[in-house]
Structure 1
């Protein structure tokens, strides 16, 4: 499958899923698997920073960052997602339709970025990482969330085992970490999101690698050093 066809198929999928995603978005960001993301970002990226939300979906995560004092521009491949997101536009909060393989922003135009479960949906994650590095300032920070081994949505990549074409480039958290660090970034911090029922006391003594292997999602903060 060509890169162009991959992204056309991904756009179609997320256009179809926009209404369903939107119906669960607020609860996901306040009570579900995404509730730790904004607090994690606040630990590292100063308020007032200009942040790109890459793969913003319906824009609620961008809105949450805006509520905390950030200037946010969201980008998503799906036009229907962007249509939903634009209902929240305000001063210092805007949305554009675009592709992570060709991000429509100038070089070093952002202090930082957020990319939550979006790199998996690109045909060439390394190229998209290079695009993120291009738009983020030197020493800027990016929060990347990658689905862990226990995440049910990883089934989107399963059909490849039946020799079918897929549009989900699943990676293990440690694979993403190595890919990013090899390409001009330094890991600053890491946070683990587990399924409901997993108590911190069960995991706190484990190594980072073992924690990653049990996660629903792993969150990273990387700093651009090149």
Structure 2
């Protein structure tokens, strides 16, 4: 009988990766693949709102949100990530907590918006996270979710599943997440495609959305909660 525990293994692996992630996160958010996310967020969610950053890592994205005028709580499963976030990010409207984003210790309808960038793919049940997001945002609240595209290198983390090995990378595609969100109380308002260098050599403008997503490194969705329960 397997003793594999997804949550425990995920925490262990992200603790091990925390130094590498911390070394590179600033560049990703400032000039790399995540540079367009905060401007995209600002288009839809007014400042001075409360935001929960789910799977915040070392907290640089949370810090960017706080810099932009939001009140932010960053949550991550990795103790090492949270320690780095607390020690390096200093802002009166920014807090960090260790937690499982699929089982949040947060009251219903607490936040105006949530952000989850490349974090749902590392959970055993993305649907559970979607439902938690819906629970903790206020009626008509927002969710900004980034899903790794087919060309993203981290997808190699799921390869060993083909040998029946247990892995912590869920190979959900952007179009699968979009359908999942639609079927579970979310409306898509906008989207932000992110491509690897070199994709600009292709005339992407004339491609259909599914072909654009198939070429993407990451696809960022802006969702709005469609109903209250």
Structure 1's unaligned 5+ residue stretches are none
Contact 2:66 2:91 in 1 (8 A): no
Contact 1:89 1:95 in 2 (8 A): no
Q: Taking structure 1 as reference, are residues 124 and 165 closer, same or farther at Cα in structure 2, changes over 3 Å only?
A: same
Q: How far is the alpha carbon of 1:200 from its aligned partner?
A: 7.7
Q: How far is the alpha carbon of 1:129 from its aligned partner?
A: 0.8
Contact 1:141 1:222 in 2 (8 A): yes
2:15 maps to 1:15: yes
2:109 matched residue in structure 1: 108
Contact 2:112 2:142 in 1 (8 A): yes
2:30 maps to 1:30: yes
Query: 1:128-207 to 2 correspondence within 5 Å?
Result: 128-199=129-200, 202-207=203-208
What secondary structure is seen at the aligned counterpart in 2 of 1:149? coil
Q: Taking structure 1 as reference, are residues 188 and 216 closer, same or farther at Cα in structure 2, changes over 3 Å only?
A: same
What secondary structure is seen at the aligned counterpart in 1 of 2:199? coil
The 2-side partners of 1:221 and 1:18 are apart by 27
The 2-side partners of 1:117 and 1:185 are apart by 18
The 2-side partners of 1:49 and 1:89 are apart by 19
2:212 matched residue in structure 1: 211
Contact 2:192 2:220 in 1 (8 A): yes
What secondary structure is seen at the aligned counterpart in 1 of 2:170? coil
Q: How far is the alpha carbon of 1:198 from its aligned partner?
A: 2.0
The 1-side partners of 2:213 and 2:3 are apart by 29
1:94 matched residue in structure 2: 95
- Write out the 4+ residue segments of structure 1 that deviate beyond 4 Å after TM superposition: 1-4
The 1-side partners of 2:202 and 2:66 are apart by 33
What secondary structure is seen at the aligned counterpart in 1 of 2:139? strand
Structure 2's unaligned 5+ residue stretches are none
2:53 maps to 1:53: yes
Contact 1:116 1:145 in 2 (8 A): yes
1:225 matched residue in structure 2: 226
Q: How far is the alpha carbon of 1:210 from its aligned partner?
A: 1.2
Contact 1:100 1:128 in 2 (8 A): yes
Q: Deviations over 1:146-199 (max 9, x none)?
A: 000111110111111111111111101000000011000100001100001222
Normalising by structure 1, what TM-score? 0.97
The 2-side partners of 1:196 and 1:57 are apart by 24
